[in-house]
Amino acid sequence: MTDKPDFHRSLRLHREVFAGAVTLAPSEGSDHNITVFAWKEMDGPPSFAAMPGRARALAPRHTVNLHAPAMRIEYGKKFNGNRYAQA
């Protein structure tokens, strides 16, 4: 929730822990909810071309449809999260 007092601190810590490999994607239907995607041991999110293959490889072990998160990650790459960069 972007309107919570600790949001900016939490976002700053995510960026520090994940060396900036963080993507923000606004949640549907709310101006104040965002999803934070972070990658460990990567420079950032995988390419959109690589994500469907990764989702298929993980599908047998997960009950969640991973296509939707892949789309949110791709959208998040283009999302201007600078308005949340204060802290």
DSSP string, 19-66: TT-EEEEEPTT-SS-EEEEE-SSSSSPPPTTTHHHHHHHHGGG-SS-S
For residues 84 and 8, the answer to whether their CB atoms sit within 8 Å is yes
Give pLDDT, residue 71. Answer: 76
CA distance 37 to 35: 6
Mean pLDDT of the residues in the chain: 77
What pTM did the predictor assign?
Answer: 0.62
CA distance 81 to 35: 11
Q: pLDDT tens across 54-82, in order?
A: 888 888 888 877 777 777 777 777 665 56
Domain locations in the chain as residue ranges: 7-84
Instruction: Please compute the mean of the pLDDT values over residues 14-20 and round it to a whole number.
Output: 86
pLDDT at 1 over 80: no
pLDDT of residue 87: 46
